[in-house]
């Protein structure tokens, strides 16, 4: 039995972390039995979630978990894709995780109202006298990481623009297909679900979310993936008319 260490259901999401969502969906795609378990990032060998235990093997980072599953269980998450499509799938995944993910995280962590009702509660189990100090320390670390990555060096309007560029590209690639590369989901669809669900949850309002609701095919795509992989979870990304550019 594989143990998936990650977050938990909160913020209108089946998993708080889009990276945990990615791994959980890939486990479901592979038909592999697993047991979810809550964990904090500092429990991971790489200081981040998700990580898994598979027998006596521990693997951290969603990308390396995927590689472990493919090599250990003979799974090909991109089965049926051409070499070019496999290359495109990798490029899309990098765009989602290394660009859009940071943008989404910015509005979750560095918008004060969203932080206070969301990530600030990650530390509610800390000793009462230390909670505020821990929250401030972690928030400062997140802000520093986002500045080092680059996203926090921009204005909010510029960050929205960056997010919209990635969403427009994803929308164009998806087109009117059920999934990114045709009639069946591939590994990158799991990544896309994690990111789009994190953006579309109404728990964290922001301009990017409002604008993202204007990509009708992405709204439907997120709904389709949620119905497929989390049928028991109440979910419907609310549709809206596109805002003026």
- Tens of pLDDT along 128-162? 999 999 999 999 999 999 999 999 999 999 999 99
Quote the pLDDT of residue 236: 73
Quote the pLDDT of residue 40: 87
CA angle 109, 115, 117 (to 5 degrees): 150
Cβ atoms of 22 and 191 closer than 8 Å: yes
> Tokens 């990509």 appear where?
215
- Tens of pLDDT along 86-107? 999 999 999 999 999 999 999 9
Question: Kind of pairing, strands 34-38 and 2-6?
Answer: parallel
CA angle 150, 151, 157 (to 5 degrees): 135
Q: Given pLDDT bands bounded at 50, 70 and 90, which one contains residue 237?
A: low
Query: What is the share, in percent, of the chain residues with pLDDT greater than 70?
Result: 96
Tell me which H or E stretch contains 98: none
- Over residues 65-86, mean pLDDT: 98
Mean pLDDT of the chain, nearest integer: 94
State if pTM tops 0.75.
yes
- Tens of pLDDT along 15-59? 999 999 999 999 999 999 999 999 988 899 999 999 999 999 999
Distance in angstroms (rounded) separating the CA atoms of residues 236 and 227: 9
- Residue 242 pLDDT exceeds 60: no
Q: In what order do the strands lie in the sheet with 2-6?
A: 34-38, 2-6, 51-54, 57-60
């Amino acid at each position: 039995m594989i143990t998936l260490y990650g977050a938990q259901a909160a913020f209108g999401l089946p998993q708080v972390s889009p990276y945990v969502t990615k791994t959980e969906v890939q486990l479901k795609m592979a038909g592999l039995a697993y047991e979810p378990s809550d964990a904090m990032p500092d429990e991971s060998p790489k200081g981040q979630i998700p990580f898994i235990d598979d027998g006596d093997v521990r693997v951290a980072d969603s990308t390396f978990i995927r590689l472990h599953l493919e090599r250990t269980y003979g799974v090909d998450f991109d089965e049926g894709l051409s070499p070019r499509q496999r290359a495109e799938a990798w490029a899309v995944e990098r765009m989602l995780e290394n660009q859009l993910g940071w943008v989404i995280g910015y509005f979750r962590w560095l918008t004060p109202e969203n932080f206070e009702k969301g990530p600030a509660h990650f530390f509610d189990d800390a000793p009462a006298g230390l909670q505020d100090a821990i929250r401030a320390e972690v928030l400062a670390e997140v802000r520093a990481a986002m500045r080092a990555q680059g996203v926090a060096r921009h204005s909010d309007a510029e960050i929205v623009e960056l997010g919209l560029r990635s969403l427009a590209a994803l929308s164009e690639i998806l087109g009117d297909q059920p999934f990114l590369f045709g009639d069946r989901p591939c590994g990158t669809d799991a990544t896309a679900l994690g990111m789009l669900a994190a953006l579309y949850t109404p728990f964290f309002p922001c301009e990017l979310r409002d604008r993202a609701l204007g990509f009708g095919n992405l709204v439907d795509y997120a709904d389709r993936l949620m119905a497929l992989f989390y049928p028991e979870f109440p979910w419907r990304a609310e549709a809206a008319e596109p805002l003026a550019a």
